[in-house]
Amino acid sequence: MSVQPAFFESHAIRRVYDENTETWLFSVIDIIQVLTQQPDYQGARKYWKVLKGRLAKEGSQLVSSCYQLKLAAADGKQRLSDMATAETLLRLVQSVPSPKAEPIKLWLAKVGYERMQEMGDPGRALDRARETWQKHGRSEKWIQQRMTGQETRNKLTDYWASHEIKQGEEFAILTNIIHQEWSGVSVKAHKKLKGLQDHNLRDHMSEAELIFTALAELSTRQIAETDEATGMAENTEAATKGGAIAKQARKALEAKTGKPVVSRENFLPPGKPTARKVPKKS
């Protein structure tokens, strides 16, 4: 995961995108610095340390909802920093008296839930993605398959969201079940096979991998809709069945061609390092 700063007024807020959970994680101290209007990082760090201790004593789950990642500090050194989702930060803001509270809430709603915003104008998001892929040298055939697969993915996650599946960890669990079932490897193992680090796995799939991923997710959604699957247990069953349908198709193709569908193929320049571990909660 790479750091992609976003800006609130003149303040740079460090954030990273967790592909496994499909959520943004923001630097808690950067948000605290804005709220408290501290002139430097150390002042914000001390404020957060005191607040963190108080919240822990009160039994608040906000602290346990934070992750720790190594980020570059002001002196350029990599240090462990508390990170949190926009949802967690929106609740944290309520614990900090500040004239910036409402503006930062609006800002978090804007940059933290980009998927929700793009649902209102999906054409704009697709156009932006197409332009990026074209700049990276992807063929029109690959781009079309990638976009079709994304539409299939969005319909599945929309179904999950409306049937008691929580965005984040539960989305990631079901996604991995589907992927493991059709491909025979986990999402993490597939990324490692391709030598990926700060990248979206789907952006480095071959045309065949994209097609089988879409088939698995389409099958999962249609099975879930037919069974009216609600909650993790029922949607896990649908995910397993959906992935199995694509697995059968994959094996049939491999038997005919003698070539594996899951491959090391990627779009990385030579010499790119392998993947790092997913952050753990603090």
pLDDT at residue 273 greater than cutoff 60:
no
pLDDT in tens, 81-91: 899 988 889 88
- pLDDT tens-digit profile of 109-164? 777 555 444 444 556 566 767 887 888 788 999 999 998 998 899 899 999 999 99
Least Cα distance to 33 among 47, 44, 25 occurs for 44
- Count Cα atoms within 13 angstroms, Cβ side, for 207: 8
CA 243 vs. chain centroid, Å, equals 20
Nearest to 169 by CA among 278, 256, 261: 278
Write down the domain spans for the chain: 6-112, 119-257
pLDDT attached to residue 40? 80
Quickly list DSSP for 64-126.
TT-EEEEEE-TTS-EEEEEEE-HHHHHHHGGGS--TTHHHHHHHHHHHH-HHHHHHTSHHHHH
Q: Where are the beta strands (DSSP E) in the chain?
A: 6-8, 11-13, 15-18, 23-27, 67-72, 78-84
pLDDT digits (tens, 9 = 90+) for 28-46: 999 999 999 888 888 899 9
